Amino acid sequence: MNLNEQMQQVLSGAMYNDLTPELNKARQNALILTNEYNASYGRPQAEREAVLKRLFNSIGEQVHFEPNLRCEFGSNISIGSYFFANFDCILLDCGGIEIGDHVLFGPRVGIYTANHAADAYERIHGGCYAKPVKIGSNVWVGAGVHINQGVTIGENSIIGSGSVVTRDIPANVIAAGVPCRVIRSITEADKTGYQP
């Protein structure tokens, strides 16, 4: 099975063999490109985005990661415009990651779309499965947040620092905790009158 066929199986949600030479080579390529991107810190934004365009499936305008960025494949990641991630972002993207526009990540945010098989024999022989993560536009994800496979975070929401997101979070809410849960809705009362 070639890399494209294997990647289709990975993205389908079916159990796949995580140890194939093709997937390992794709991971090595992602590591080379993330190292190149991390080393380009301080260079013109257009040069840095050119590396991301080679690494990711798609990006919008003004996409920026503070060093260090890490991802598994990169090719399963799509990010909208005006995205900023603070340092040490981890994107385990086997299941696919979609991020909207105007999204902010605090330091050490991790998205994990993959999981190992529960059965020990299957696990040690490379059995894995993956589910996508989707983050809507205008979302703020606080420092140290872990977002697990299969989760959707609705637009305009805020995820509090240190949270572990294990289920969908609706739009227009503040959510936090372990496991992450909705604390309250974001309302007109949250407007401060700030004018840029």
Looking at the annotation, which residues are catalytic?
A: 116
What is the dihedral sign for C-alpha 26, 32, 38, 43? Answer: negative
- DSSP H or E run through 7: helix 3-12
Q: 91 to each of 122, 152, 182, how far by Cα in Å?
A: 24, 15, 24
CB 155 within 8 A of CB 169: no
Residue 24 in tokens: 């390992």
CB 147 within 8 A of CB 160: no
Smallest CA-to-CA distance from 94 within 122, 73, 111 is with 73
CB 133 within 8 A of CB 151: yes
